[in-house]
Amino acid sequence: MKSYRSVQITYGVGLVLLLVAPAVIYPVLIMKVLCFALFACAFNLLLGYTGLLSFGHAAFLGSAAYLTGHALKVWELPVLLGILVGTGGATLLGWCVGSLAIRRQGIYFAMVTLALAQMVYFFFLQASFTGGEDGLQGVPRGTLFGLDLADDHNLYYLVVAIFVGAFWLIQRTIHSPFGQILKAIRENEPRAISLGYDVAKYKLLAFVLSAGLAGLAGATKTVVFKLATLTDAHWHTSGEVVLMTLLGGMGTVFGPVVGAMVIVGLQNELADKVGAMVTVIMGTIFVVCVLAFRRGLVGESIAFYRRIVGEKGR
Amino acid sequence: MTDFFGISLPALFGQLVLGLVNGSFYAILSLGLAVIFGMLNIINFTHGALYMMGAMFSWMLMAYVGIGYWWSLILAPLSVGLIGILIERLLLQWLYKLDHHYGLLLTFGLALILEGFFRHFFGVAGQPYAIPDELSGAISLGFMFLPKYRAWVIIASLTVCLATWYVIEKTRLGAYLRAATENPKLTQAFGINVPMMVLLTYGFGVGLAGLAGVLAAPATQVSPLMGSNLIITVFAVVVIGGMGSIFGSILTGLCLGLIEGLTKVFYPEASATVVFVIMAIVLLIRPAGLFGREK
């Protein structure tokens, strides 16, 4: 019971911090962090809880970003409907990519998702509606309930609402019977099969859900930056989300959020100071995490906490 | 008879040769990936970056030291191979007992580091690398002009691929290698130094990538970004072919290069994606890959 209460307190503190943060920090930066945190949480649902390493999640972020941008700018849909279009599109794409990728296991799964995402990238590179190298610029944010979303502070609360809603959905999924089956597949797939579970169906569902939520993150990102670019769909972005999850701690609830905070913060600090060396720093974090730090920041902290307190307390 | 469905024959053959050149690179790289995967159980994401380094090294040798193409052909793959040996000793050897995913993640991070370094020091613009005098010009075959350098790339790559196949399938060393791939513990028990074999395999596989880089240097622009896009296509090639068979890797690589060349003639818009489309079709029809023997 004690740990349950401490989790509730953490959620409460986090929510309060989120609500007062724009008074201290530039709201667009926090919104960027929230979008990437949602992206990483969606990814973690797949890697951390189902044991599937997708190296192509940028495809879902990118396609939702373009679809939402197109829906808001060209079709002039209201903002929520635009986000819905993007998320729906990414979900559909997730179903297509997922049903192909789950036909192979382990390392091949990662290669298949990477290759299919590259195909999506080339499609966006050549398609005329994406604006090619320039991207889709000047996407209008519109209004919601009479509030002008062009004001960063108004938009901020919409983004917080989307993030909290999606985060809650992910928590519910992880702790549901469905989530338990996903963990069983991660731990021992043959045993899950022998227990009579249709493993392929569960994997596909997890993939589609993860792709849809990644799409939601991409759609929201377009609204925040009024922009959808090729970077969103590039394999670098797929690598970034892996890094966020790995650095924060895969298979932990808050790991991806912490990872996204650190990586987005780092990029924000370093971008104009070191140029291409940002890639080198990201790569170094990758290597260090894999060699020495596989549980990630949150995972290692939990392990440390258990070592000094948990053993005696239990 | 110079037209074929409205496309001039010389243009068609020109694209086919170019397709074969690309296919040779796919073949060398996927062969290296397959050999490394067999021994180390790691998908080497760094392969693209090391291919780029092979090309960059030969450009640097030319630009800074004045060493020409023929010496680069030996020196660049050797240095890439040595770097590979360092990578294996310093980093990869700690991963063999872990989940496969970590190998991919670590080599991905390493690829970012290498690519970032070269981008930082040399920018993203392509550097020109001249074709050596002996191989410049073209041979007239009657129906088309065959650029000598392209012919050389195809012949050299095929020779290297077949030599690798011969060493692995027909020699004693290759037999040790196959035994160590199949069952490392048992092979070690027979007194064969398996960690050394692993080390040399990685060095060799990576050296092949470096060699492909040198061969590519005069054929394409030498740039720090040349490896990363190629490696993703090669991954698709590996998924299509499956990594079980050496010969399969070579054949799949060449065929996909040819198909890509044909697509450039008949439907250029799809030439960047055709390999991925084929991968999707293969996954639907034969999930284990054309030459795969996945459980």
- ipTM (interface predicted TM): 0.88
Return the pLDDT at B9.
78
Return d(Cα A197, Cα A52) in angstroms, integer.
17
Higher pLDDT, A135 or B167: B167
B25/A149: higher pLDDT: B25
Query: What is the helix (H) or strand (E) element at residue A137, kind and residue range?
Result: strand A136-137
Low pLDDT (below 50) residues in chain A = 1, 313-314
Interface size A-B, in CB pairs within 8 Å, comes to: 129
- Name the packing angle between helices B226-241 and B9-40 (round to 10°): 80
- Tell me the CA distances in angstroms from A281 to A14, A39, A274, A276, B10, one per residue in order: 29, 21, 10, 9, 48
| Residues B156-169, mean pLDDT to the nearest whole number | 92
Cβ within 8 Å, pair A239-B108:
yes
Q: Is B250 on the interface with A (CB under 8 A)?
A: no
Could you say which residues from 111 to 130 on chain B have a Cβ atom under 8 Å away from some Cβ of chain A? 111-117, 119-120
C-beta atoms of A105 and B106 within 8 A: no
Cα of B274 to nearest chain A Cα, Å: 9
> How many C-beta atoms lie closer than 10 Å to residue B119's C-beta?
18
Q: Does A306 touch chain B (CB under 8 A)?
A: no
Contact between A283 and B110 using a beta-carbon 8 Å cutoff:
yes
Query: What value does the mean pLDDT take over residues B234-256?
Result: 88
pLDDT category of residue B246 using cuts at 50, 70 and 90 = confident
**A248: closest CA of chain B, how far (Å):** 15
Q: Is A136 helix (H, G, I), strand (E, B) or coil?
A: strand
Tell me which of A44, A103, A107 to substitute to probe the interface with B (most B C-beta atoms closer than 10 Å).
Answer: A107
Judge: B277–A119 Cβ closer than 8 Å, yes or no: yes
Residues in chain B: 295
Predicted model pTM: 0.89
**Residue A175 touches chain B, beta carbons under 8 Å:** no
| pLDDT (0 to 100) of residue A1 | 43
* pLDDT over 70 percentage in chain B: 97
pLDDT at A313: 46
Confidence of residue B4 (pLDDT cuts 50, 70, 90): low
3-state SS of chain B?
CCEECCEEHHHHHHHHHHHHHHHHHHHHHHHHHHHHHHHHCCCCCCHHHHHHHHHHHHHHHHHHHCCCHHHHHHHHHHHHHHHHHHHHHHCHHHCCCCCHHHHHHHHHHHHHHHHHHHHHHHCCCCECCCCCHHHCCEEECCCCEEEHHHHHHHHHHHHHHHHHHHHHHHCHHHHHHHHHHHCHHHHHHCCCCHHHHHHHHHHHHHHHHHHHHHHHCCCCCECCCHHHHHHHHHHHHHHHHCCCCHHHHHHHHHHHHHHHHHHHHHCHHHCCCHHHHHHHHHHHHCCCCCCCCCC
Beta bridge partners of residue B8, listed in sequence order? B3
Q: How confident is the model at residue B295 (pLDDT cuts 50, 70, 90)?
A: very low
Contacts of B50 (CB under 8 A, 6+ apart): B80, B83, B84, B114, B206, B209, B210, B213, B227
